[in-house]
Structure 1
């Protein structure tokens, strides 16, 4: 007799927003670079834009859902297509971008954006010196103004944004960097690379602490931390199965767990929710989002959200932006085709009149625990948390 494992999140289900609550009349980038295309925070949605010349992205306030007006302002100073964007975890009005023009830029979203008529063309910081296109930008989860930037020149630079200076240079990659992820306390950086090696670096010394053979397939790979010492990668086996691997960050000699998912061609995009200990995995080019609960070094499969509309990219709302009144534990933003972003809400099915403390443990507060100076001096701190109530 099999015993059903008890979990508060076993019955979590996803529901797409109504059409009038989607973001329409968009021009999503047609770049072939493996990117999420979209990122979000409690105030805005940010999307890589298909700009005629140069590179641009768009920031849309959430209250502007529906059909976007044709002359909505763009953020345009890059000379090549924008490949990645990331909102600061500590200031909802700050966003970083990386592009094919070998630069990363940091921007402040101006007040009254929805009423504005002219584009935003003045970034507050330009981070140059990368030898080739900038593929990924990722903010440190603990220290203010610390940004990791990967480039196709086979390096990752960790910037002190306020000083506009490189604090640390990570090297030793034999091919293009495919994915970067900060550890929960921001002291280490995990990097998945096209040379099929997973590496973990000390983010202050630049030393490679661990490395190991990752997925053997030729297609892309992604990495995400699921605890201070555990990581999950997605990729492909030698026979082109889509795979999930669970790793111990102290030893990358072999994965703790390998799970073959299916034979589809699209990249698997992983997102981890530290509050619920749930891992969501969306397939690029299909309409599925699978979700698992991480416990006891195992990924317990919960369910799959399925849709006939394939997703080109996915972004997620930070935890402090979910709707606790409706028992929402995760919200995705799904890029559909070249013109629409559809929000998808994942909820715990409860008829609740009051705040449900058991499904909402304290979450990332959106407040830095360290300054950039303290971070680069070697100081460590845990992320500051806030009571979700």
Structure 2
């Protein structure tokens, strides 16, 4: 059959994965043994964060990327949660800020100093409290600064403004456990999978369900993500418990463009998408293989298998390095950080072999930068939707110095917390649209939020006053104790003296 093309032409056909040498791995990290579906690892060009085992609550360790090798057992950790940490995600616009979700029902946001931690960190920048059951996932908005999405076991999705510590939108359209959530390219929509086997496309601002359709038939967990063009890639199980992946049009979720059966393993397939190249990595916790595909919507069957990276040990989790952290000089186009059960974290680099040493423009189109395209108010109040800001990697990427995240809580933030015996979700949504809670502020005028600088100064002054009051209270207690001791001695002495004087009088009286 001359003239038939057996192998599809692709610049990624020869991509290969390579594990870093032992001396460039991270050892003796007490990786969590939790069975939750999260990947328990997040990485950026500055830091590696891994969820760890911790007594008395949840914790994760943060290491500078350069701190390879064996880690001290008493290495400082981030330990402010009262329950197990279920997910962690670095902010895409500030490499020093990380969000963590926990079984203690809170999402906390932390600021890590350049150079890493020297002592345990227990105080977050802000604690986001709304969920009434454990938080399961967190994801940052892809274009708007300080906008964060969280998912709880209470079947709610919350969109937060981290800069004010308030929930912007509470999404309550799921009747059962939410398996996964993901923003689209601009962050205007989210796609979710649920235990009811439906896939939903939801307006991220209004919380309205735009489209919904039947997902995978199996009862086990499923995943869904948006691709850059708006199509949706899902993973799940068939009725016969075979692992599957599918590609769908968001307007016809019931009718997959393709549905492919992979194998009969148990691990939940997790799709990891590279927006720049269209490469799609599919793997699972407990797997020792990572399959990778190229998505090309102009060539059926659209999701083209390239190869499989094989290793001898299964993974407990994975972290994904943003493209700006890859080594362009070596034509590295993707990097994963694999968590081992023995405490090792192992970087896996994927390369495209090229003979030329010059910058490969076709491998490195402009990538998503660490500069937000919108502020939280532009996205939420002005309802703007824009693509992420892109940068060229030619000449390499220079990491920014630490930027401080400031939080200015609004005066009505506490009114947005759930209260026992009252359904406040509707009130929260009304307030976030500009309304007010009449029961809380019936006879009071609305208060304008203080400017950021004045609010910060006020918080600092309040902190100093609290310290002084505590010092005064401690001194008062000490004085009372000393006076009590002195008083007891004085009373004993006076009672003895009075008794000795009173005895003769009493005898004389009788």
TM-score tier after normalising by the smaller chain length? over 0.9
Equivalent of residue 390 in structure 2, options 360, 380, 385: 385
The TM-score with structure 2 as length reference comes to 0.75
Query: The residue matched to 1:300 in structure 2 has which SS?
Result: strand
Equivalent of residue 346 in structure 1, options 350, 353, 375: 350
Counterparts of 1:289 and 1:323, CA distance in 2: 21
- Where do 5+ consecutive residues of structure 2 fail to align? 395-510
Counterparts of 1:279 and 1:113, CA distance in 2: 32
1:74 pairs with 2:71: no
- Give 1:285 deviation, angstroms: 1.0
- Give 1:352 deviation, angstroms: 2.8
Please say if residues 368 and 383 of structure 1, whose CA atoms lie closer than 8 Å, have aligned partners that are also in contact: yes
1:322 pairs with 2:326: yes
Please list, as runs of the form range in 1=range in 2, the aligned pairs for 1:359-374 lying within 5 A after superposition: 359-374=363-378
Counterparts of 2:218 and 2:315, CA distance in 1: 22
Deviations 1:221-274 (A, max 9, x none): 112221232111111111011111111112212211111111111111110001
Query: The residue matched to 1:357 in structure 2 has which SS?
Result: coil
Match of 1:333 in 2: 337
Deviations 1:191-242 (A, max 9, x none): 1112211111101111111111111112111122212321111111110111
RMSD across aligned positions (CA): 1.1
Equivalent of residue 112 in structure 1, options 103, 111, 115: 115
Match of 2:162 in 1: 161
Please say if residues 178 and 195 of structure 2, whose CA atoms lie closer than 8 Å, have aligned partners that are also in contact: yes
Counterparts of 2:253 and 2:183, CA distance in 1: 17
Match of 1:190 in 2: 191
Counterparts of 1:112 and 1:363, CA distance in 2: 26
Which structure features the higher share of helix residues? 2
Please say if residues 233 and 244 of structure 1, whose CA atoms lie closer than 8 Å, have aligned partners that are also in contact: yes
Please say if residues 144 and 372 of structure 1, whose CA atoms lie closer than 8 Å, have aligned partners that are also in contact: yes
Kindly report structure 1 stretches of 4+ aligned residues shifted beyond 4 Å: none
Please say if residues 64 and 115 of structure 2, whose CA atoms lie closer than 8 Å, have aligned partners that are also in contact: no
Match of 1:21 in 2: 24
Counterparts of 1:292 and 1:38, CA distance in 2: 23
Please say if residues 85 and 97 of structure 1, whose CA atoms lie closer than 8 Å, have aligned partners that are also in contact: yes
1:12 pairs with 2:15: yes
Which structure features the higher share of strand residues? 1
Counterparts of 1:178 and 1:35, CA distance in 2: 10
Equivalent of residue 314 in structure 2, options 310, 334, 355: 310
Equivalent of residue 36 in structure 2, options 33, 36, 46: 33
Query: The residue matched to 2:267 in structure 1 has which SS?
Result: coil
- Where do 5+ consecutive residues of structure 1 fail to align? none
- What is the count of residue pairs matched by the alignment? 387
Query: The residue matched to 2:211 in structure 1 has which SS?
Result: strand
Please say if residues 215 and 254 of structure 2, whose CA atoms lie closer than 8 Å, have aligned partners that are also in contact: no
Equivalent of residue 102 in structure 1, options 102, 105, 118: 105
- Give 1:338 deviation, angstroms: 4.5
- Give 1:312 deviation, angstroms: 1.4
Please say if residues 58 and 85 of structure 2, whose CA atoms lie closer than 8 Å, have aligned partners that are also in contact: yes
The TM-score with structure 1 as length reference comes to 0.97
Counterparts of 1:52 and 1:363, CA distance in 2: 40
1:52 pairs with 2:55: yes
Question: Greater relative contact order: 1 or 2 (C-alpha under 8 angstroms, separation 6 or more)?
Answer: 1
Match of 2:275 in 1: 274
Please list, as runs of the form range in 1=range in 2, the aligned pairs for 1:291-302 lying within 5 A after superposition: 291-296=292-297, 298-302=302-306
Counterparts of 1:154 and 1:91, CA distance in 2: 29
- Give 1:310 deviation, angstroms: 0.7
